[in-house]
Structure 1
Amino acid sequence: MNIQEIKTIKLQDFLASLGYTPTKQQGNKLWYLSPFRQESHASFKVNTERNQWYDFGIGKGGNIIDLAEQLYKSSDVSSLIRKITSDTPHCMPISSASFADIKAGQRTNYFENLQVHPLAHPALIRYLNDRCIDIEVVTSVCKELHYDSNGKHYFGIGFPNIAGGYELRNPFFKGCIAPKDISHFYADEPKKACFLFEGFMDFLSFMTLKRKENPQDTELRQQDCMVLNSVTNIHKAIERLSRYDSVQCFLDNDDAGRNTYLQLSMELRNSVADASILYNGFKDLNEYLCAEFRHSEIAEIKKSKGIKL
């Protein structure tokens, strides 16, 4: 999408795709708990007629680009357009005029007849294989979700968060089942360090790499890990991360990832390390994993044909 198309996205749809829903409506104004901080009284306003927002806590407002600039801590418009496009998946829209419809959507999480099953569908397994993710790693944390929407049946990979919601993926869809929140996994024994990931595919990629190092190791919970499920959730992670002596950040190699790391470095008193240097030159950990997998695959093919490396 170009910038003009981006600006036509309804702010309430964009916020809904990130897991934010209004707490009340006053005419054409929707009120939200601010996405920039934790608060108990809504101070973030969206004017649905003008498609503009204003946050009374920081005294700033504007259009969707201005909002993305605040959320992703970046002023690079091209990068912001990519992030908006990525984070505005085909979630069920809440752009209807009635606030009652919005509240009904909250009660149903925009999905109907949700069913949770063990992950087994061949199409989802193929999708994970394409992403080079170890299937045993995935099935240890993810579920297969089936649901109806607008009279049609869909299914996808569900990654749980601490609030009871799910990140939702399939080959054609990237979305969430509200409430949107962080995911936090604990080791069997208390740990002084936490590994932080931006998205759950990065977390699964990390676990796959660990499994690749030691195929006999079937214990996947030897390290405390946290997944933001969007850098906009960083304010929800601060308090939990402050309990650790150190935080290893496996964030994306882009402006949003770097700015999130800098924000953590300033807000946390404990040691915060940038682990993205391990996959320098790649967008994220999954891209690095796929490159490593293909390199190993080519090496195995050459070896089987007697070609010296």
Structure 2
Amino acid sequence: MPMDIEGMKRFPIEDFLARLGHHPVQRRANAVWYRSPYREEKTPSFKVNPEKNLWYDFGAGMGGNIFALAGEFIGSGDFITQARYVAEVSGMPLPEHEPHRSSEVRQAGGQSFENVEILPLQNRALLHYLHERGIPSAIAIANCKEMRYTTHGKRYFAVAFGNGSGGYEIRNPFFKGCVPPKDVTLLPSGSTACNVHEGFMDYLSARALGIGNGEDHLVLNSVSNVARAYRHLDGYGQIKCYLDNDEAGRRTLEALGTRYGERVSDCSGIYGGCKDLNEHLQKTLAERQAQRENEKKSKSIKM
């Protein structure tokens, strides 16, 4: 992996927290105390030892080095993901390479993509897959591409959603992955408000539901990309968050709230009881279909 792991391990946790908008409440001999940066608390129980560059959260009963702390922010136990987040926040270089459309591209998980082709989305099986998830073909075709690729000697196809660095998030009924480099996707329309989504399926769902019409949208393509989003979000007066109703989504919302304060609004109440916006869309469509069927039955009985 093209990064200085030891250099990142020595990056001061105090500076790391400061870049994320968290500042100490109290200083003692060799202990710096904070309110936990990734959960709510009134009494500071989060301790940093600057000499050893380690942290410990007494309220949660856990601690470790800077990578473990990054994992708590982004909700990931994967070291590669943690290291990338530390690199982003600390400003350390993390070289990434543009995908070669006619040769092999390998993602972090080891999946290889060969003879990659990017085409307009037209495959009926892919459009049907999106339709089953509540995404109309018109919205899918306007926002996505079709990727054809070879892996392990076999040819496959997938829905492809591009990011700001030339990489793609790819999905089909049996596979979820990405072709690097990894980055966020900004979809501007000239608005002062930006709608933030965790994944592109949620963005497509927002379009299907009419959410954020006339406003800008930003897709993180992973909560680990939140620091990459700052360069875009810094200029917005209003940031509407449609993040997953889980621990990782909550922590991402907290990170954005810490940086942007009252400019951030949590819109997850719209899909309360559902994991994300796409699940809410599917549930809404199923309820509408059930209602139509009930109305038909009522009419037939009256006749």
TM-score range, shorter chain: 0.5 to 0.7
Select which of 254, 275, 278 maps to 1:283. Answer: 275
C-alpha displacement at 1:145, in angstroms? 0.1
1:165-244 equivalence runs, <5 A: 165-187=167-189, 190-210=190-210, 222-244=214-236
Unpaired runs of 5+ residues, structure 2, are 14-52, 56-65, 82-95, 107-112
Asked if structure 2 preserves the Cα contact closer than 8 Å seen for 1:125 and 1:135, the reply is yes
Cα separation, partners in 2 of 1:55 and 1:147, compared to 1, 3 Å: farther
The structure 2 residue matched to 1:154, chosen from 156, 165, 180, is: 156
Query: Which of 105, 112, 133 is 1:109 aligned to?
Result: 105
Aligned positions, number: 231
Quick one: structure 1 residues 268 and 207, their matched pair in 2 at CA, closer, same or farther if it must change by over 3 Å? same
* Contact map agreement 1:244 1:270 (CA 8 A) in 2: no
What's the TM-score, normalizing by structure 1? 0.66
Contact persistence 1:254–1:283 (CA under 8 A): yes
- CA gap of 1:125–1:273, structure 2 versus 1, over 3 A, is same
Is the Cα–Cα contact under 8 Å of residues 162 and 169 in structure 2 kept in the other structure?
Answer: yes
Q: What do the CA deviations read for 1:121-155 (whole angstroms, capped 9, x no partner)?
A: 12212211221111111110100100112222111
Contact 2:99–2:167 under 8 Å retained in 1: no
SS at match of 1:124: helix
Query: Does residue 23 of the first structure (1) align with residue 25 of the second (2)?
Result: no
Gaps of 5+ in 1: 1-21, 25-30, 33-41, 45-53, 88-102, 212-219
- Partners of 1:148 and 1:154 within 8 A in 2: yes
For the residues of structure 2 that align with 1:133 and 1:250, how far apart are their CA atoms? Answer: 17
Please give the per-residue CA displacement for 1:143-197, whole angstroms capped at 9, x wherever unaligned.
010011222211100000000100010011000000010000011xx21110000
Over 3 Å off, 4+ runs:
54-61, 66-69, 103-108
Shift of 1:286: 0.6
TM-score where L is the length of structure 2: 0.68
Find 2:292's aligned residue among 275, 300, 306: 300
Relative contact order higher in (CA < 8 Å, ≥ 6 apart): 1
* Shift in CA distance, 72/204, structure 1 to aligned 2, threshold 3 Å: farther
Does residue 43 of the first structure (1) align with residue 7 of the second (2)? yes
Q: How far apart in 2 are the matches of 1:298 and 1:130?
A: 16
Work out the CA distance in 2 between the residues paired with 1:80 and 1:231: 9
For the Cα contact (< 8 Å) 1:144–1:158, is it kept in 2? yes
CA contact (8 A) 2:205 2:281 kept: yes
Letter in 2 for 1:180: K
Does structure 2 conserve the Cα–Cα contact (< 8 Å) formed by 1:185 and 1:221?
no
Q: CA deviation at 1:268?
A: 1.8
The alignment partner of 1:117 has SS state of strand
